[in-house]
Structure 1
């Protein structure tokens, strides 16, 4: 059994060809797609987070709404940029969203991706300390967030409070037990995957890696996953970690699929430059169902992961994206032994 979810980047564009013309369109359609995915038998609804962009920038209201409208699927992010986050406020938001969803939140976080604006986190009043990089600041925010999620009391209570306090030091509320073990780190390299393991976070690996060793993308990613699991074992954590990978998978089953993705058949890895360094990008899986089954069967990273996130073209609308998810869940997954 492999968990299969979707990952939406939440784009909107005020253009006649886009099914999402506004932020309101994206938010409502994201909820509708999550409901549709649950009905189709998918396992998760995940959303990308970008600030200063026409995308989903504030995940917790959306996660709470999806949690209230669904009953079974996991709900998550891929990923929240921790350079922008207030760990205490985020702890409260995450706890509330998880309780509304009944403990189904799977929260993906990271040091962030290339930004829309220069040092955007400064506009959120977050400034690296002396001698600290923005990545260091993101990890500092992460460490505090993980600490607060444990639910241990740390704040001295007022001796004359407005409302009676429980005994001892106070924690942030609402607290959601178990959420600490459902935090994922979006790792772009083998080294960051190993670091995530030492911190006791699950691994979320994308369709790109910020390094290139010359081997195919899926082999490099499979090595990343193995290094993560080895580091997890060495750290001695009590529970078993989870690993997700993202893939663009478009089975061609009708004329719509052919029109949108017919030219993507035969896609290959790409090597480019990201943040000044070489990066390797994974290919798109597009083609007839049998061909996609054969190609995915050769993907060593997909085989190694327990969770597959399907990147969906959200601007094509809920009905079409539900069709893509259904094609994978009903036609591809059973042939690979995932269902």
Structure 2
């Protein structure tokens, strides 16, 4: 562990983009306004989650395309897009298109594994090929290769009045270095490093990857970060972004403080021991003044190893709550962690 925490170089935030089924436009507009606010406050990045058959953003690429036209500087990311729902070739085309529209600001984050509730959705998603689909790392490798300009076909050239390319078009040369892998296990962190991706590490890790001593979230996450960098061509300079749930309360009203504390308290029991068959360890949500949060983060073993974050906004809060939280992050918490807002 470094003897002193690294100054925070890049500050981002993550939102799920919830909406009311009776008025989905209002929720999507709220998300876009939050991203615009993030840019005005000097945040370096804004990230959206990916939710299928739920009341959250199901098409983050479309939302970020809209955000790219309402912002000029802030980087835009997905954390994360589950590739089990995607065709890597088609996704590569969409990502490259939005990257071009944004002027090179897209940061796609992806993960692997079967789609959630796969047995219930397989007939709608893959009616003819469900048993043949590969939901492992090979799916990520295909996407990475296509985004980086590897040929998708041996055919190219002119055919009549049309011209065909063997690689994904448009091709955005810098996008390949802005691909992120959402890893919660030591094996996934290792794979991401070996394939030159960036690492997104969130508030969930697999307990079985803890080596020696009692199970500990921060120590387990730290082992993932170090294994990733040990395998990455860039070594200690390889990019890692941490995504804990962090809720500053400096300018919050008494009612907001009470609701935030209640939210964190309801979720705290799941952090006491590994959860479910996958034995997942959850990090506690951090709630308090920016001075209190900075002290807790500086004591966090994994946070001390990174200089980029994308703090996650709670799922169920109101628009005005997110405005207060983001404002305090940018004006109080970020500076307390050594960060300076982007111009």
TM-score range, shorter chain: 0.7 to 0.9
Partner of 2:215: 215
Structure 2 distance, partners of 1:128, 1:306, is: 42
Of stretches 110-119 and 328-337 in structure 1, the one that deviates more from structure 2 is 110-119
Q: How many residues align?
A: 321
The answer to whether structure 1 residue 5 and structure 2 residue 22 are counterparts is: no
1:290: Cα distance to partner? 2.4
Correspondent of 2:273 among 253, 271, 274? 271
Q: For the Cα contact (< 8 Å) 2:111–2:183, is it kept in 1?
A: yes
Structure 2 distance, partners of 1:121, 1:181, is: 32
Partner of 1:18: none
1:196-254 deviations in Å (ceiling 9; x for gaps) = 1111111111101122533331121111101110111xxx3599421111111112223
User: TM-score, length-normalised on structure 1?
Assistant: 0.86
Structure 2 distance, partners of 1:163, 1:260, is: 59
1:88-137 deviations in Å (ceiling 9; x for gaps) = 111110011101111111110001587255363553225243xxxx7x43
Structure 2 distance, partners of 1:239, 1:215, is: 25
The answer to whether structure 1 residue 143 and structure 2 residue 133 are counterparts is: no
Taking a change above 3 Å as real, the CA distance of residues 270 and 128 of structure 1, as seen in their structure-2 partners, is: farther
Query: Structure 1: which 4+ aligned runs deviate by more than 4 Å?
Result: 237-240, 265-268
Q: For the Cα contact (< 8 Å) 2:18–2:57, is it kept in 1?
A: yes
Matches within 5 A, 1:61-76: 61-76=62-77
Structure 2 distance, partners of 1:115, 1:185, is: 18
1:71: Cα distance to partner? 1.1
Matches within 5 A, 1:10-159: 10-13=17-20, 22-112=23-113, 115-116=116-117, 118=119, 120=121, 123-125=124-126, 127-129=130-132, 136-153=134-151, 154-157=153-156, 159=158
The answer to whether structure 1 residue 193 and structure 2 residue 214 are counterparts is: no
1:10: Cα distance to partner? 2.1
Q: For the Cα contact (< 8 Å) 2:256–2:321, is it kept in 1?
A: no
Structure 1 distance, partners of 2:299, 2:105, is: 31
1:266-294 deviations in Å (ceiling 9; x for gaps) = 958332324x1211100111123322221
Taking a change above 3 Å as real, the CA distance of residues 144 and 327 of structure 1, as seen in their structure-2 partners, is: same
Structure 1 distance, partners of 2:55, 2:31, is: 14
The gaps in structure 2 that reach 5 residues or longer are 1-7
Structure 1 distance, partners of 2:115, 2:259, is: 27
Of stretches 298-307 and 261-270 in structure 1, the one that deviates more from structure 2 is 261-270
User: TM-score, length-normalised on structure 2?
Assistant: 0.85
Q: For the Cα contact (< 8 Å) 1:32–1:318, is it kept in 2?
A: no
The answer to whether structure 1 residue 259 and structure 2 residue 258 are counterparts is: yes
Of stretches 115-124 and 253-262 in structure 1, the one that deviates more from structure 2 is 115-124
Counterpart secondary structure, 1:247:
coil
Structure 1 distance, partners of 2:182, 2:123, is: 22
Counterpart secondary structure, 2:167:
coil
The answer to whether structure 1 residue 324 and structure 2 residue 322 are counterparts is: no
The gaps in structure 1 that reach 5 residues or longer are 15-20
1:61-92 deviations in Å (ceiling 9; x for gaps) = 11111111111111001111111111111111
